[in-house]
Structure 1
Amino acid sequence: MALTPNSPNADNSMQALKQYGSYIVTAILLALAAYFGWTYWQNNHARVDTVAADRYADIQRLNEEVSLAAQNPDLEAEAQASLAESRTQLNKDIDALVNTHGQSVYAWQALMIKARQQVDSDDFAAASETFKKALAIDLGDPGLEAITRLRYATTLLAAGDAKAALTEANNDMPSSFEASQQELLGDIYLAQDNKDSAIKSYNNAWELLRNRKETRAVLALKMESLGIVPEPIEEQTGLIQESTATTQPLVIEDSTEDATGAGA
């Protein structure tokens, strides 16, 4: 039955609207706000990720140009000036990305590039600060955190701060990083003239590598320099070895032999 302006039901409806109208409107507005807020977050989040990815791609291209030019030992004065400008621009681009997308994996990768450039210039103090910034990014990935912490500790050691390096290297890490962690601890103890602890850590690292059937020539040389003859490790062969070789760039595992390098 249709309601007429003078019907009792119409009066009751108008009275109900007056009494509860504000609550109904508020509920509708909250529902709309939640919907549009969620839609905005989705669209904006996707846009931000796309922007960060594009900016990182530009940084990666510029880094490749800088790295390639730096390999030429016979650069003329004009080329050297151009290289210096490119390095300055690279750092500016990285800083801009970190300032605007500081909690993204792209910021982490960009900081790895910056640290690598600093290490290549033997500026270990600056590289340590860069790794420290990267370590502050919460990516929710223990592997990436371990890589960053190992590299941070290594640059601290290279910068002469063995005590701080030891503190960082002693943090808990995933089992796949324990060999690298023990090798780095050996390096730190050796820098502190603690030969016994260095030998113990190197032996621990070698034993962990043995369980993985993996050898590290540099670690073997370190052990031999301390009078230790590491027992040979029989490496994996056949299909397993081939599979490991083809997938190696994708494995989230670090080595102290390349701990200061930013494999981003």
Structure 2
Amino acid sequence: MATPLDLQEQEQLDQLKHFWNTWGNLITSTLLVIALAFAGWNGWQYYQRNQAAQAAALYDTLERNVEAGDPAIVERTLGEMKDRFASTSYAQQAGLLAAKALHDKGNADGSRAALTWVAEKAVDPGYQAVARLRLAAELFDSKAYDEALKQLGTAFPKEFEPLVADRKGDIYMAQGKRDEARTEYQKAWTGLEPRNDYRRLVEIKLNSVGVDTQSLKPAAPKQS
């Protein structure tokens, strides 16, 4: 037989009922939102992991196709990567890999299309920078100097700026613009670390336009 509640217990029970009647719906809704958000987050994490795994598998396929040396299959595999996994880092790497393979096979249009896609669509600014530098190099080789300079006219991460300046210097030299080339080579030389082997190549270019690098301000040491 149930024991009757005393006056204090009954009062506490009434207070609890009043509290729940007042705030119960809000509490329930809040808990439901939290639960749905948690479930959604877990679902998104699973989706991301699944996408990355599938993208990695397709990238491996692209690598095998590159080794096989069939440009048509390389382009088709890259197209599938772009359609299905464009937002992943694997797609950006795939674009650069496919571009090199297509360029080596003499497919200039396919290579430039792949590099243009990475330059315009890549999420990582590093991949974008590499794509623009390589695209500028290919345009330079085909004597499309203005188009090459256009690719180098956008903002680049700071660590790429010396390479951009060096590439601009090459283009200006090809156009017969010696003064502009000298300015860009100086930017490249001062921006590169003294221990960087590439700096020696830029120094040779500077010497060819009459600049003694001993007169230039050395690159400032990087802060740790």
Fold conserved between structures, TM > 0.5? yes
Q: Which residue of 1 aligns with 2:146?
A: 163
Q: Which letter maps to 2:141?
A: A
Q: Which letter maps to 1:201?
A: E
Confirm or deny: 8 A CA contact 1:206 1:230 kept in the other structure: no
RMSD: 3.6
Q: 1:115 aligns with which of 99, 112, 120?
A: 99
Q: Summarize the alignment of residues 18-57 of structure 1 with structure 2, pairs less than 5 Å apart.
A: 20-57=23-60
Q: Which residue of 2 aligns with 1:137?
A: 122
Q: 1:101 aligns with which of 85, 89, 97?
A: 85
Once the two structures are superposed, residues 76-134 of structure 1 have per-residue CA deviations (whole angstroms, 9 ceiling, x without a partner) of xxxxxxxxxx4322221111112111121100111012211232244434423321211
What is the CA–CA distance in structure 2 between the aligned matches of 1:115 and 1:127, rounded to whole Å?
4
Displacement after TM superposition at 1:15 (Å)? 7.0
Confirm or deny: 8 A CA contact 1:131 1:151 kept in the other structure: yes
Which 5+ residue runs of structure 2 have no aligned equivalent? Answer: 215-224
- Which stretch shifts more, 186-195 or 53-62? 186-195
What is the CA–CA distance in structure 2 between the aligned matches of 1:20 and 1:26, rounded to whole Å?
10
Q: Which letter maps to 1:29?
A: L
Between the two proteins, the alignment pairs up a number of residues equal to 208
What is the CA–CA distance in structure 1 between the aligned matches of 2:14 and 2:210, rounded to whole Å?
99
Q: TM-score, normalised by structure 2?
A: 0.72
Say if 1:15 and 1:133 are closer, same or farther in 2 by CA, change over 3 A: same
Say if 1:52 and 1:210 are closer, same or farther in 2 by CA, change over 3 A: closer
Q: Which letter maps to 1:53?
A: A
Confirm or deny: 8 A CA contact 1:202 1:223 kept in the other structure: yes
Say if 1:3 and 1:138 are closer, same or farther in 2 by CA, change over 3 A: farther
Q: Which residue of 2 aligns with 1:64?
A: 67
SS at match of 1:44: helix
Confirm or deny: 8 A CA contact 1:134 1:148 kept in the other structure: yes
Q: Which residue of 1 aligns with 2:133?
A: 150
What is the CA–CA distance in structure 2 between the aligned matches of 1:87 and 1:181, rounded to whole Å?
29
What is the CA–CA distance in structure 1 between the aligned matches of 2:202 and 2:16, rounded to whole Å?
85
Q: Which structure has the higher relative contact order (CA within 8 Å, separation 6+)?
A: 1
Say if 1:211 and 1:3 are closer, same or farther in 2 by CA, change over 3 A: farther
SS at match of 2:176: coil
What is the CA–CA distance in structure 2 between the aligned matches of 1:12 and 1:223, rounded to whole Å?
86
What is the CA–CA distance in structure 2 between the aligned matches of 1:3 and 1:186, rounded to whole Å?
95
What is the CA–CA distance in structure 1 between the aligned matches of 2:71 and 2:4, rounded to whole Å?
77
Once the two structures are superposed, residues 32-60 of structure 1 have per-residue CA deviations (whole angstroms, 9 ceiling, x without a partner) of 20111111112221111111111111211
Confirm or deny: 8 A CA contact 1:124 1:156 kept in the other structure: no
